[in-house]
Amino acid sequence: MTIGVFRPLCVCALLLVTPLSQAQGQVYRCPGNLYTDQISAKEAIERGCKTIEGTPITVIQAPRREASRPQGATAPGAPAAASGARVDPAEQRARDSDARRILEAELRKEEERLAALRAEYNNGEPERQGNERNYQKYLDRVDGLKTAIARKEADIAALKREIAKLGS
């Protein structure tokens, strides 16, 4: 007899809880990371929105920009060059030569690494290693070497472009 009384109580409890959860409203996440609770379920489906259940939403406001700044004034902590002030030509030449020296050193290192990779690659037929009894492991390593060589060549080309931008 207790079970007969228990069932109607469960059904009543469910009927009371369901409207409360629906009264809170659904929050939808729509394409473009737009969050809203101002649309109906039908509109959400039409727009391709998904419901957010039990996930708290945090909104962080972006810092406000200063509306107007006098011309020539810089933001606190900004370098003087940002305000339009010219850099001493001798100082600029020193910076350029430092940049060139760093880029050329990096270029030499990358070319050495490329030469080592090409030597290991051995025109597509590198020597098999002891842990490569499975032929697929060998093929995977060969493929990895091929992509590493392509990546190094692209890096070297980018470094050469940067050096060319600096001029002579």
Residue-range domain boundaries for the chain: 25-56, 89-166
Select from 38, 11, 17 the least CA-distant residue to 26.
Answer: 38
The answer to whether residues 27 and 37 touch, using CB atoms and an 8 Å cutoff, is yes
User: What is the model's pTM?
Assistant: 0.48
Q: What is the pLDDT of residue 147?
A: 95
Select from 71, 106, 93 the least CA-distant residue to 167.
Answer: 93
Distances in whole angstroms, Cα of residue 16 to Cα of each of 20, 26, 136, 168: 7, 18, 62, 81
Rounded CA separation 114/112 (Å): 5
What does the pLDDT look like over 15-69, one tens digit per residue? 444 444 444 567 888 888 787 888 888 888 888 888 887 766 666 777 877 665 5
What does the pLDDT look like over 72-92, one tens digit per residue? 555 555 555 555 678 899 999
Q: How sure is the predictor about 1, in pLDDT bands with cuts at 50, 70 and 90? A: very low
Give Rg (Cα) of the chain: 33
